[in-house]
């Protein structure tokens, strides 16, 4: 299919390099393009050249002469002139996940949503592993050592394997035939408003995960999220709803503290609430969604229970770091939007000192201010847009706030306020790029600061 073809890959980060590696393995001629200069991409350039790929760095002026196919990386803006040029020339442009779907012999369980994607993806994967399935956890997921691009998984997986993939909005922009066997949309709330023109545009991109499904596929949606619930009459796949507060006709729900999956009228108890080792009611929703996919794909209930009981919080997601002098320190650096922050604040019952702030993504912080007023003991603010969080908190009547110039300083301030039995939690509600390379970098700085405290005691 690709032998001898000329493939242009736009973006030389993790996904682009994975596409190049797979395409070279399939006999294609690959050229990688990136707007960053080669001096900023030393490791990436070395990897690409070792593959035998061509490298063109430092420009957005992409030469399309002789190109048969363009594969674009997530986050590359769709308005770049190269895409209009490609359309005029009749050159197909696809996303990495579209390429992965065309290559995959294995069924794909695809998971998207504003919040909960990574935890649900890893949990779903662990459930299938517990059932003895050859499982690939892949896609946009970054969780410790789990960081395999979907195209890599698709290239490696056999027909009897299962691929469980986290899918971002950016990856869905360029799909054409992408059709997961199970597609999940966990929730839609305001996020990335610095990238999208409106919440409607963002939500409609999320819904593209269902676009090509047929009656042979499963569509898993949140019955209690207004946008996802509104899709019910528009989907072609077999609809499985999940709900934490109400009973659904087909899908997952909670009854008498038991999590139940009902498919084709058959009810299966997958676990009790007390079996779930994760904080927060949002993780009940994540497990109901994962359970829908598992039961739909024939996983044994005992495999789900085993995976749930053994599951540990994913790194940077309500991750307990240490208990020092009776105070627990929790790293929730992955919390990059307001809805996730509100859920996180609500998930902690102990008196909490929250470290929040960073780079705003066009968010309304008023709901977070209300959550602070109800649940927070104190908030330490950091980052470029700390003032926005302060203003919303004051609007809600919450004034117990202190500013810090750095994350380590914020940890020190929080420690000085905390008493035994309190929790200090990093819940930024913002992007990390004002002060850090990534949310993982931010979380590691937090953990290092906590370890420094521990060393002093």
Query: Tell me: the pLDDT tens digits for 240-292?
Result: 999 999 999 999 999 999 999 999 999 999 999 999 999 888 899 999 999 99
CB-based contacts of 171: which residues, under 8 Å, 6+ apart? 74, 95, 96, 97, 139, 140
Residue 431 DSSP one-character state: B
Measure the CA–CA gap between 443 and 167, rounded to whole angstroms: 22
CB atoms closer than 10 angstroms to residue 264: 8
Band of the pLDDT at 195, cuts 50, 70, 90? low
* Average of per-residue pLDDT values in the chain: 94
Helix, strand, coil shares of the chain as percentages rounded to 5?
Answer: 40, 25, 40
CATH 3.40.50.720 in the chain, residues?
6-90
CATH 3.90.190.20 in the chain, residues?
319-456
**Where do runs of H (alpha helix) occur along 259-329?**
282-296, 301-310
Measure the CA–CA gap between 390 and 226, rounded to whole angstroms: 28
According to DSSP, the residues that pair with 266 across neighbouring strands are: 263
Measure the CA–CA gap between 64 and 357, rounded to whole angstroms: 42
Mean pLDDT, rounded, for 408-415: 98
pTM of the full predicted structure? 0.87
Q: Is the Cα dihedral 94, 100, 105, 110 positive or negative? A: negative
Q: Which CATH number fits domain 319-456: 3.60.130.10, 3.90.190.20, 3.10.20.740, 3.40.50.2000?
A: 3.90.190.20
Band of the pLDDT at 11, cuts 50, 70, 90? very high
Band of the pLDDT at 193, cuts 50, 70, 90? very low
Contact between residue 22 and residue 100 where contact means Cβ atoms under 8 Å apart: no
Chain centre distance of CA 423 = 25
Nearest-CA neighbor of 170 among 139, 138, 148? 139
pLDDT of residue 457: 57
Measure the CA–CA gap between 91 and 28, rounded to whole angstroms: 16
Q: Are strands 258-263 and 266-272 parallel, antiparallel or unpaired?
A: antiparallel
Contact between residue 82 and residue 11 where contact means Cβ atoms under 8 Å apart: no
CB atoms closer than 10 angstroms to residue 40: 13
CB atoms closer than 10 angstroms to residue 222: 25
pLDDT in tens, 41-100: 999 999 999 999 999 999 878 999 999 999 999 878 888 899 999 999 999 999 999 999
Strand locations in 173-263 (E): 182-185, 218-222, 238-242, 251-255, 258-263
Nearest-CA neighbor of 223 among 264, 271, 262? 262
Mean pLDDT, rounded, for 308-312: 94
Mean pLDDT, rounded, for 178-204: 78
pLDDT of residue 415: 97
Q: 77 exposed, middle or buried (CB, 10 Å; 0-12, 13-18, 19+)? A: exposed
Tokens of 236: 């072609």
Q: How far is CA 281 from CA 162, 273, 278, 294, in A?
A: 28, 10, 9, 20
Q: Are strands 108-112 and 135-139 parallel, antiparallel or unpaired?
A: unpaired
H-helix or E-strand spanning residue 15 = helix 14-25
pLDDT of residue 190: 55
CB-based contacts of 440: which residues, under 8 Å, 6+ apart? 142, 315, 316, 333
pLDDT in tens, 323-365: 999 999 999 998 999 988 998 999 899 999 999 999 998 889 9
Q: Which of 182-191, 211-220, 392-401, 429-438 has the lowest mean pLDDT?
A: 182-191
Mean pLDDT, rounded, for 205-228: 96
According to DSSP, the residues that pair with 425 across neighbouring strands are: 330, 354
CB atoms closer than 10 angstroms to residue 215: 8
Nearest-CA neighbor of 75 among 46, 54, 96, 53? 96
Domain 98-310 has CATH 1.10.630.10: no
The CATH superfamily assigned to 6-90 is: NAD(P)-binding Rossmann-like Domain (3.40.50.720)
SS3 205: helix
pLDDT of residue 197: 53
- Beginning with the edge strand found earlier in the chain, give each strand of the sheet holding 29-34 in spatial order: 54-57, 29-34, 6-10, 69-72, 92-95
SS (H, E, C) 155-174: HHCCCCCEEEEECCHHHHCC
CATH 3.40.1190.10 in the chain, residues?
98-310
According to DSSP, the residues that pair with 319 across neighbouring strands are: 331
Mean pLDDT, rounded, for 427-453: 95
- Residue 25, phi-psi category: left (phi > 0), alpha (psi -120 to 50), beta (remainder): alpha
């Amino acid at each position: 299919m690709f032998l001898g073809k000329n493939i242009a890959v736009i973006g030389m980060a993790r996904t682009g390099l994975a596409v190049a590696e797979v395409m070279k393995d399939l006999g294609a001629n690959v050229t990688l393009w990136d707007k960053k200069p080669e001096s900023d991409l030393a490791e990436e350039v070395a990897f690409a050249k070792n593959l035998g790929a061509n490298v063109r760095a430092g420009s957005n002026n992409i030469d399309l002469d002789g190109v048969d196919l363009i594969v674009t990386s997530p986050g590359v803006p769709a308005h770049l002139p190269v895409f209009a040029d490609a359309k005029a020339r009749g050159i197909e442009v696809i996303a990495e996940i579209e390429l992965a779907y065309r290559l995959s012999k294995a069924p794909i369980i695809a998971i998207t949503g504003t919040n909960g994607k990574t935890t649900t993806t890893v949990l779903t994967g662990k459930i299938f592993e517990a059932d003895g399935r050859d499982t690939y956890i892949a896609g946009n997921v970054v969780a410790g050592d789990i960081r395999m691009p979907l195209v890599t998984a698709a290239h490696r997986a056999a027909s009897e394997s299962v691929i469980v993939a986290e899918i971002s909005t950016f990856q869905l922009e360029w799909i054409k035939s992408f059709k997961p066997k199970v597609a999940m949309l966990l929730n839609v709330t305001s996020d990335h408003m610095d990238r999208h023109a409106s919440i409607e545009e963002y939500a409609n991109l999320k819904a593209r995960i269902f676009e090509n499904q047929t009656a042979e596929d499963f569509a898993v949606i949140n019955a209690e999220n207004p946008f996802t619930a509104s899709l019910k009459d528009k989907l072609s796949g077999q609809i499985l709803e999940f709900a934490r507060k109400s009973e659904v006709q087909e899908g997952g729900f909670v009854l008498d503290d038991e999590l139940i999956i009902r498919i084709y009228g058959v009810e299966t108890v997958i676990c009790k609430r007390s079996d779930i080792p994760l904080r927060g009611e949002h993780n009940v929703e994540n497990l109901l969604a994962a359970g829908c996919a598992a039961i739909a794909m024939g996983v044994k209930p005992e495999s789900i229970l085993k995976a749930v009981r053994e599951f540990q919080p994913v790194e940077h997601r309500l991750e307990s770091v240490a208990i020092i002098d009776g105070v627990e320190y929790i790293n929730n650096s992955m919390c990059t939007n307001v809805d996730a922050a509100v859920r996180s604040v609500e998930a902690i019952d102990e008196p909490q000192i929250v470290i929040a702030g960073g780079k705003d993504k066009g968010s309304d912080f008023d709901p977070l201010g209300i959550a602070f007023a109800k649940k927070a003991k104190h908030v330490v603010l950091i980052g470029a847009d700390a003032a926005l969080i302060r203003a919303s908190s004051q609007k809600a009547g919450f004034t117990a706030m202190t500013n810090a110039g750095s994350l380590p300083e914020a940890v020190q301030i929080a420690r000085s306020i905390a008493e035994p039995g309190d929790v200090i939690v990093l819940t930024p509600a913002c992007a990390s790029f004002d002060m850090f390379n990534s949310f993982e970098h931010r979380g590691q700085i937090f953990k290092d600061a906590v370890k420094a405290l521990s060393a002093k005691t």
